[in-house]
């Protein structure tokens, strides 16, 4: 697949959004990551997302109507990313070690069937100064694994920026770590590859997170930057497309987001996502927030046609 096959599509949101509501008693369900039926042992769609309690597992026959399974995949864990290679599934996620002060690292679990998971292994700890920006002990989050020839590249978010109108934190930088094997120690690049910029209206507070697709001629990234809207005097987040030849140096494909806040269930923020090709179109699941301080978060679907 070449980059233009992604860049040339037109994005339309599913008319009956949202497709997943927050599970009681949590007011949020967020950061979806999913697998297509051809990649699963039971031929169904599988999606993982987190609430305030931890990571939940959802199953669907059509990618539209989702059933939440009983139990939790991992407590006090958020922002999952699922990756398959061979007959194994790998679930990366952020493990919260403390809330006050906020402190987290990235963990990894393995599975052969998506239902029974191995014990967690710590895959990345906050170790650099910018990992600790806004957090005394550091925070790393939003993992996304991409295979690069015979090695693996882990994109992740780090550091924190405080949203005063929501009274919570969002990621400030995006970094990269590399490894020869999925489960071995990752070598962290010393500097962020994406940082907030005061001149970027959709990323003037934080870089947020990114999901990357490797193509035959480069890389395409879907980033949800964190910004302050001076016209509304409120924070926001929106999904934009970035392009790169080497996966390290990124440029905006176009300024305007493909999905941004508007009204109702996604009034204030459009957040993290996962995207995959399904036949001749793309499925993009994302979460969005309905209000600043007391908002709820839902999962929606967009199609790339």
The residue ranges of every structural domain in the chain are 27-304
Tell me the average pLDDT of the chain: 97
Strand partners, 151: 148
Per-residue pLDDT tens over the stretch 201-253: 999 999 999 999 999 999 999 999 999 999 999 999 999 999 999 999 999 99
Q: What's the mean pLDDT in 12-25?
A: 97
- Beta strands in 9-101, from DSSP E residues, in sequence order: 11-13, 30-35, 45-50, 54-60, 66-68, 74-75, 77-85, 88-99
- Say which residues have a Cβ less than 8 Å from residue 139's Cβ, sequence separation at least 6: 94, 102, 103, 104, 126, 131, 132, 158, 159, 160, 169, 171
pTM of the model: 0.98
Whether 15 shows a pLDDT value over 90: the answer reads yes
Whether 267 shows a pLDDT value over 90: the answer reads yes
Nearest Cα to Cα of residue 212 among 199, 234, 194: 194
Query: How much is the pLDDT for 185?
Result: 85
Q: Helices in the chain by DSSP H: which ranges?
A: 3-7
**What's the start-to-end Cα distance of the chain, in Å?**
15
φ/ψ of 39, rounded to 5, equals -105, 0
Confidence of residue 302 (pLDDT cuts 50, 70, 90): very high
Cα 35 to Cα 42, 91, 106, distances in angstroms: 11, 11, 20
Per-residue pLDDT tens over the stretch 163-186: 999 999 999 999 999 999 999 989
**What is the pairing mode between strands 251-252 and 234-244?**
antiparallel
Q: In whole angstroms, give the CA distance from residue 13 to residue 157.
A: 26
Nearest Cα to Cα of residue 270 among 293, 294, 297: 297
Query: 277: how many CB neighbours lie within 10 A of its CB?
Result: 15
Q: What's the mean pLDDT in 47-59?
A: 98
Name the CATH topology of 27-304. Tachylectin-2; Chain A (2.115.10)
């Amino acid at each position: 697949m070449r980059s233009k096959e992604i860049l040339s599509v037109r994005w339309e949101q599913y008319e009956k959004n949202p497709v997943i509501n927050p599970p009681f008693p949590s007011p949020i369900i967020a950061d979806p990551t999913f697998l297509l039926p051809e990649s699963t042992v039971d031929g169904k769609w599988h999606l993982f997302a987190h609430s305030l309690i931890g990571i939940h597992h959802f199953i669907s026959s059509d990618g539209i109507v989702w059933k939440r399974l009983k139990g939790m995949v991992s407590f006090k864990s958020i922002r999952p990313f699922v990756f398959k290679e061979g007959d194994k599934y790998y679930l990366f996620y952020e493990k919260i070690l403390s809330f006050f002060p906020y402190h987290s690292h990235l963990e990894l679990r393995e599975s052969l069937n998506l239902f029974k998971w191995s014990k967690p292994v710590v895959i990345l700890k906050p170790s650099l100064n910018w990992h600790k920006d806004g957090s005394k002990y550091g925070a790393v989050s939003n993992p996304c694994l991409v295979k690069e020839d015979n090695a693996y590249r882990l994109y992740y978010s780090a550091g924190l920026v405080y949203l005063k109108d929501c009274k919570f934190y969002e990621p400030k930088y995006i970094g990269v770590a590399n490894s020869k094997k999925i489960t071995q120690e990752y070598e962290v690049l010393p500097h962020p590859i994406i940082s907030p910029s005061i001149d970027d209206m959709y990323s003037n507070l934080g870089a947020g997170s990114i999901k990357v697709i490797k193509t035959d001629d480069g890389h395409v990234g879907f980033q949800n930057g964190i910004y302050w809207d001076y016209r509304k005097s409120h924070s926001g987040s929106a999904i934009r497309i970035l392009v790169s030849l080497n996966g390290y140096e990124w440029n905006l494909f176009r300024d305007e987001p493909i999905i941004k806040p508007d009204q109702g269930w996604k009034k204030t923020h459009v957040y993290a996502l996962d995207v995959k090709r399904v036949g001749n179109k793309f499925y993009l699941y994302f979460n969005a927030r309905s209000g600043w301080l007391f908002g709820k978060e839902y999962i929606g679907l967009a199609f790339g046609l």
